[in-house]
Each structure stands twice: as structure tokens, then as C-alpha cells.
Amino acid sequence: MKRLVINLDRSPERLAHMTAEFARIGVAFERVAAIDAREHPDLVLQPQHAMHAIRPLSGSEIACLHSHRTCWTIIAQDEAPYGAVFEDDMVLSAKAGALLADTSWIPADADVVKLETFFAKTMIQRRRISVGRGFSIFRLRKSHVGAGGYLLSRQMARHLLDATAQVNVAVDELIFDLALPRSARKTIYQLVPAVCAQDQFVGDRLPSLLEQEREAARVASGLAVKRRKPTAQRITKEAGRILRWIIDFCRFRQHIVVPLDRIEAND
């Protein structure tokens, strides 16, 4: 299985970081040169999905998608049934190497396995599948943002390439937002505990450049401003939340903030 790391040519310090991370867990990786929005200002002119009508994707977000597409092309053309994709600001757990060196633990029906945690509440199926070494996987049932670390089947790589051939979509929403029709048809698993997370959550040495740009765009568009809703609307929303909780409980689903496995090995 190929382990691909997306890295901008102008970010050698991030490549050095990922080189150290993979050396620490004892597995190799291949660098994939990221598409640089600074060198392609025309990216913002490309067609975008209707979901981005209120806040269009920035050039950097489109470049990010195209960088992931480069990885998907490599996986789609490879003989291995799965490939792993990482962004260059990830911190890996001490036991990540054992999972990344082997694919026998991946369920045969898996289209995607999310290796990362964004430390945000999501939803999983309660049915647990043990994959050894203290890890389990669960079907992901709700959006879990972030595309910093995931496994992708060869067939799903081809599907994602086809889905983005004519239109641009935020890469993490395309893969992990189950509200999208294309995503709802995928079999997506979440690894618990996760084996990687962005450094901004763990070491705070490598800020997420894309997230900084997204936040600035949200502020500029007014989407970051929270407006107090009328009482009746808040009551209706809370009633809906309780009803959804009951339905999810009956469907054997649970909310979870996916934990991160230990970064340092036990002594």
C-alpha cells in the first residue's frame, strides 16, 4: 500500500516534519507535490459545486482538491487495493506504523477508512469491529471534517476522480460529508482511536494554512457572525435534536468525539 504525503514545494519545513513522523513509526512514504494556488490564480475561475454558492471555494481550497486528485490518480493506477493519503501537518500515533504497513485489517467492503480525528463530535454505528493492537473501526454515520489522513480503495479513488472531473468540491466534504448524495452511498469507516491529527491540535507548531484562509473567508462573508434565533425557533430546533437522538439510538448509533491514540510509545 502506498502512503502518500501532499507537500508544497515552498514548505520544506513541513516535509521535514513528516519525514521525522514516518521515521518515528518505521514506515516509508512517497511525497506528492501539491498544487500551489499562488502559481495557478485561474483556479478560482473553474466550476464549483452548487453547495459553495454562498461562500465560493478559494484558490487554495481548489488547489487542495487537485492535490488530493493527484493522490487518487496514483491509487487508482496502483495494483494495491488501498492507498493512504496524508497532508503535511499531521502528527502520527506511535502505533500507526503497524496499521499502515498492512492492509489485512481493512474490511472488504470499505471504500474509505478515516484515520484522523478532528476532535469534533460526529456519529458512528455502535457495532464495533476490532482490528487488533487496541484499535476498532465503526461505520461513520455523520460528517467528520478533515482530509488529513485516510485510506482509500482503488475503486473509490476512481469514483472520486470521476466526481470531480468537471466540478470542484471541498475535498473533506466530498469524502466525509454524508449529507451529500455521493457520500451517502460510500461505505466509510472511522478508526477508533485515530492514529493521526493535525499538529494544530497536538503540537501547535504547524498551523493549518487552509483553515486560516477558510476562517477569514467566513468572517468576510458574514457567515461567522452568530445571530440569536427567536425563542420559538430555538424550541423547535431543540425538539428536533431530541427526536433525532431517539431515532439514532434506536438505529444503534452514537455520538462520539474520536480520541487520538498515544503519540509516544509506552516505555
Domain ranges of the chain: 2-257
What was the pLDDT predicted at 56?
Answer: 85
| ω into 193 cis (within 30 of 0) | yes
Residue entry with cell 470542484: 168
What was the pLDDT predicted at 47?
Answer: 79
Q: pLDDT 10s digit of each residue in the chain, 267 long? A: 999 999 999 999 999 999 999 999 999 999 999 999 999 988 887 878 877 877 888 989 999 999 999 999 999 999 999 999 999 999 999 999 999 999 999 999 999 999 999 999 999 999 999 999 999 999 999 889 899 999 999 999 999 999 899 888 899 988 988 776 655 578 999 999 999 999 999 887 777 666 666 566 555 556 555 556 677 766 666 666 566 656 666 766 799 999 999 998 764
What was the pLDDT predicted at 71?
Answer: 98
What was the pLDDT predicted at 183?
Answer: 58
- Considering the domain 2-257 in this protein, what is its CATH number? 3.90.550
What was the pLDDT predicted at 164?
Answer: 92
What was the pLDDT predicted at 8?
Answer: 97
Q: How crowded is residue 30: how many other Cβ atoms within 10 Å of its Cβ?
A: 11
Spell out the residues 6+ positions from residue 113 whose beta carbon is closer than 8 angstroms to its own.
Answer: 106, 137, 150, 151, 188, 189, 190, 191
- SS (HEC) of the chain: CEEEEEECCCCHHHHHHHHHHHHHHCCCCEEEECCCHHHCHHHHHCCECHHHCCCCCCHHHHHHHHHHHHHHHHHHHCCCCEEEEEECCEEECCCHHHHHCCCCCCCCCCCEEECECCCCEEEEECCCEEEECCEEEEEECCCCCCCCEEEEEHHHHHHHHHHCCCCECCHHHHHHCCCCHHHHCCCEEEEECECEEEHHHHCCCCCCHHHHHHHHHHHHHCCCCCCCCCHHHHHHHHHHHHHHHHHHHHCCEEEEECCECCCCCCC
What was the pLDDT predicted at 9?
Answer: 97
What was the pLDDT predicted at 262?
Answer: 94
What was the pLDDT predicted at 60?
Answer: 92
What was the pLDDT predicted at 267?
Answer: 47
What was the pLDDT predicted at 247?
Answer: 65
